[in-house]
């Protein structure tokens, strides 16, 4: 199964863009990249996902490199409420079934 590697922690000033990198160099061609975040000990919350193209929604943007070996989650205007652990996940496909493999995450702290 493809693994993801993320920096353990990052700080970002409130109002600035937060750019969270992820390495997934062993990803296969049909495996999607997902981003989730977890605030305190709540259940992880979906942010965005993509396969090859860059994606944007109301929460964030996802930039995937052309070789698909890495991606960046962008929170365009970080707020204090964005302080959380962010997980980059590969949705692995095995014999037609799907499972979500988490990395260890990046703890983002948004500073006032």
Partner 1 sequence: DAGITQSPRHKVTETGTPVTLRCHQTENHRYMYWYRQDPGHGLRLIHYSYGVKDTDKGEVSDGYSVSRSKTEDFLLTLESATSSQTSVYFCAISEVGTGREEAFFGQGTRLTVV
Neighbour-count burial of 3, counting CB atoms closer than 10 A to its CB (0-12 exposed, 13-18 middle, 19+ buried): middle
d(CA 7, CA 32): 20
Q: Provide the minimum distance between the beta carbon of 33 and partner 1 in the complex, in angstroms, as a whole number.
A: 12
For partner 1, which is the closer residue by CB, 65 or 104?
A: 104
The residue (of 53 and 94) whose beta carbon lies closer to partner 1 is: 94
CA dihedral 20, 14, 111, 86 (to 10 degrees): -30
Hey, how many other C-beta atoms are within 10 angstroms of the C-beta on 60?
Answer: 19
Name the residues that contact partner 1, by CB under 8 A: 32, 34, 36, 41-46, 49, 87, 91, 94, 97-105
Min dist CB 66 to partner 1, Å, is: 23
Q: Which is nearer to partner 1, 78 or 105 (CB)?
A: 105
């Amino acid at each position: 199964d493809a693994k993801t590697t993320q920096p353990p922690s990052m700080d970002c000033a409130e109002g600035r863009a937060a750019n969270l990198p992820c390495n997934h160099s062993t990803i296969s061609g049909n495996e999607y990249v997902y981003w989730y975040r977890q605030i305190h000990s709540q259940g992880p919350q979906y942010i965005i996902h993509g396969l090859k193209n860059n994606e944007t929604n109301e929460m964030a943007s996802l930039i995937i490199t052309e070789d698909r070996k890495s991606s960046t989650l962008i929170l365009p205007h970080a707020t204090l409420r964005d302080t959380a652990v962010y997980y980059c996940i590969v949705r692995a496909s095995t014999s037609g079934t799907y499972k979500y493999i988490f990395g260890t995450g990046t703890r983002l702290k948004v500073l006032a």
